[in-house]
Amino acid sequence: MYDILIKLKTQIRQYDKKIIYIIQKIIQNLNKMNKLLQTAITRSTFFAKQSRFSTTPDQFSVVTKKAGDNTNYPKNGDKVTVHYVGTFTDGKKFDSSRDRNQPFQFILGAGQVIRGWDEGVGKLSLGEVATITCPYQYAYGERGYPGVIPPKATLLFEVELLSFKK
């Protein structure tokens, strides 16, 4: 009987060692997963700050493709100079200042351009290139622009802020 108890005690110790080993491995894996999760959170936060992505309920958005100086931003009333390429959501281009090799100028916030431009270009820093997504409410509305922009069209603009002045 004593021998059986000794064997049992030895087996329990072996099982205890195995259980402890398994628990240690689980803890190591949890620590690795925690580090990966922290890295993912840090990277996504960094990306969000770098992209300066912003969205309104209407799905108007400004997504940075190339960072600008992150210091100089135009204000309403400034004369801004931009290059742009306008496309539909299917990728079809409808207009481009780059194709004409002629930058476009307008007074920011004066209503000289579509609402999406007045709001979106004001979020760009000098030298920044961004995609501005303009649902029809921020573009040419329910009527569109006959012969060019269909009614209720969502438009995408790749815009580069070249300069601005008061």
Cβ count within 10 A of residue 77: 10
95 counts as catalytic:
yes
Neighbours of 128 (CB within 10 A): 22
| Active site (annotated) includes residue 157 | yes
Q: Which is catalytic among the residues 15, 21, 90, 114?
A: 114
Single out the catalytic residue among 118, 140, 149, 164: 140
133: number of Cβ within 10 Å: 21
Asked if 114 is an active-site residue, the reply is yes
Active site annotation includes 73: no
Catalytic residue among 60, 136, 138, 157: 157
Q: Which of 94, 104, 106, 145 is catalytic?
A: 94
User: Among 60, 84, 136, 138, which one carries the catalytic annotation?
Assistant: 84
Per the DSSP assignment, residues forming a β-bridge with 55 are 61
Q: Based on the residue annotation, tell me whether 88 is a catalytic residue of this protein.
A: no
Nearest Cα to 128, choosing from 43, 44, 62, 77?
62
* Cβ neighbourhood burial of 4 (10 Å; 0-12, 13-18, 19+): exposed
Token reading at 98: 């780059």
For residues 74 and 53, what is the distance between their CA atoms, to the nearest angstrom? 18
Does residue 157 contact residue 96 with C-beta atoms inside 8 Å?
no
Phi–psi pair at 50, nearest 5 degrees: -70, -40
Q: Which of 73, 88, 95, 106 is catalytic?
A: 95
Residue 140 annotated among the catalytic residues of the structure = yes
Catalytic residues: 84, 94-95, 114, 140, 157
